[in-house]
Structure 1
């Protein structure tokens, strides 16, 4: 679908009071799509890494791997992966950083996460940086990372990279507050800080991003997503194709209930307002 026609972008056009121009003109100047970057399960190690010596404390040996110099190269100097809060090893900064090593082209094209955990369908802002986003085709899959162009930051409401400042700030995990926390830049999203057994509290937790979906916001007081019905009817749940919202009047107020399609293989068609079997699934059934 043409991104210029999405409600989010139309809302942005109205915000900036754009007149006598097309949506495409604005997209090409103020907004731009991200560029797909490689996501590896393993780090990209340098073919000719720097060596310990001359007083260095640490040296980068990979896009995300740092070596601690306890001696010369004649001894076995330990290496470790940079923490999730500063995922890149940056040679010019001399340690782990939010910024990839620009001396290595492969690092500038790498994803900041070795394995971004998808929790639904759609675009998710990068929790560690404001210069990219992940696209997920479904829950429990690995997301594809898209990097914004230089000078652009990701606008999670317009779902595109924006040249102007978006007010985005990288997330930091703390043990204070609720278990599920609202994403500050857009309350459509919320996140969970997952501390694995070998993680140090407040320093190296995995940030799991969730989306309430289009038309919904996260209520931090209840820890739940709330859908806003605009009128009676049934509406697709964007984060789960198998589900939909049924909006109806109750005691003079519009309320809703979440429903699932009868079969797990079905998807709710928002135009037909019916649960249907996707074309790909239908073809597979005919072939089997």
Structure 2
């Protein structure tokens, strides 16, 4: 992954790496193909597998980048990899108003929304891409990101600093994870979760 203000793409035999020297292949491409960022981080483009989005702020337009020719975005490594070692992920939308996984990593999912106007069947569904928090892969059955606890305690939500996951042990020895939000202080400001102390701090 190479950002406009940072390192730049350099093609390799299998994987694109980063360099301090700019390359045309890593320039940000022109809009209007940006998305409204649902979270901070990097998101694959749900339509064009050789594109990806960098989101620096929630609910703001993304920066769209294109992999070098012959490369596609890898959802597991979050890098551009050669088409010779990886297949292009196809749009998973088959029915309107459904939530489906995207890519093999199970860290991304797509909301399939019907378009108001479309000419063909393929154009009738608009995919909106989302990312699950760290350690919370998408569950096809529940159609939700489910946090995986390995011990008891409070753990950060990697996509939201104002919330956290609380893990506690069940009678059968397994774990249950609950997502909780930090409370507002006297001034109406929402506290932020501190992973070091395991609690919300104003």
Contact 2:98 2:113 in 1 (8 A): no
Question: Residue 112 of structure 2 aligns with which residue?
Answer: 193
Shift of 1:229: 0.9
Contact 2:51 2:65 in 1 (8 A): yes
Unpaired runs of 5+ residues, structure 1, are: 1-26, 38-108, 278-288
Query: Which one of 175, 179, 192 corresponds to residue 267 of structure 1?
Result: 192
Bigger helix share: 1
In 1, Cα distance between equivalents of 2:196 and 2:70: 38
Pairs within 5 Å for 1:68-217:
109-111=29-31, 113=33, 115-163=34-82, 165-171=85-91, 173-175=93-95, 179-200=98-119, 201-217=121-137
Which structure has the bigger radius of gyration?
Answer: 1
1:242 aligns with 2:149: no
Unpaired runs of 5+ residues, structure 2, are: 1-11, 19-24
In 2, Cα distance between equivalents of 1:111 and 1:161: 20
Contact 1:261 1:268 in 2 (8 A): yes
User: How high is the TM-score relative to the length of structure 2?
Assistant: 0.74
Q: Does the C-alpha gap of structure 1 residues 158 and 248 become closer, same or farther in structure 2, counting only changes over 3 Å?
A: same
Deviations, residues 138-173 of structure 1 (Å, cap 9, x unaligned): 432211112222333211111222246333323153
In 1, Cα distance between equivalents of 2:160 and 2:57: 8
Q: Does the C-alpha gap of structure 1 residues 112 and 205 become closer, same or farther in structure 2, counting only changes over 3 Å?
A: farther
Contact 1:154 1:166 in 2 (8 A): no
Question: Residue 95 of structure 1 aligns with which residue?
Answer: none
Aligned residues: 178
Deviations, residues 244-268 of structure 1 (Å, cap 9, x unaligned): 1111111111221111111364332
Considering only aligned residues, what root-mean-square deviation do their CA atoms show, in Å?
A: 2.8
In 1, Cα distance between equivalents of 2:76 and 2:195: 21
User: How high is the TM-score relative to the length of structure 1?
Assistant: 0.54
Bigger strand share: 2
